[in-house]
Structure formats: structure tokens, C-alpha cells
Amino acid sequence: MRKQYDFSNARRGAVVPAPAGKTRITIRLDDDVIDWFKNRVEEAGGGNYQSLINAALREHIRHEQEPLEKTLRRVLREELRRTG
């Protein structure tokens, strides 16, 4: 390793730019939450746990925006399917 490096032309920021429509952020999540998503990805045979978190957030937003009556009907249908 050299004793000195020339950083005069260096630029700060991500090494790999984020794709269009994506924003790079730093977020702190509990270890058990991250483990849960990583386990789901592993059980599915691979993938990206960050994409799974993104999908879960989208699903939450979609349900958050649905009217209360529609939410209740959806939950009741799901529960009735589980009980047979």
C-alpha cells in the first residue's frame, strides 16, 4: 500500500448510482425485522430482502388508502378462508 494517495480529483457519494426512481437512504431497522425479511427471501429460494421490504411498504400504503369498509371486508374474507 502506498504511504500517500492523491484524492484531489475524488468525488463524494455512492460508488454505484441508484437506478432511476430509486433513492439511496440510510435507515435503522430492528435486527429481528431484518432477520424476518431475510428469512422470507431465503425460504423463497433467493432474492433481495430490500425489495421485499419495499413491497411490504407498498402493500401497507395500498391498504392504508383503502376505505374502512373495504378493509373490513378484505380481513373478514381472509379470516373465513383460514377457518374453512
Mean pLDDT over the full length of the chain? 89
At 14 the pLDDT is 67
> What is the value of pTM for the model shown?
0.60
Q: How many angstroms separate the CA atoms of 19 and 4, rounded?
A: 34
**46 in the Ramachandran plot: left (φ > 0), alpha (ψ -120 to 50) or beta?**
left
Q: Domains of the chain: which residue ranges?
A: 31-83
At 15 the pLDDT is 74
At 30 the pLDDT is 95
55-83 confidence digits (pLDDT tens): 999 988 888 888 888 888 988 999 999 88
22-54 confidence digits (pLDDT tens): 888 899 999 999 999 999 999 999 999 999 999
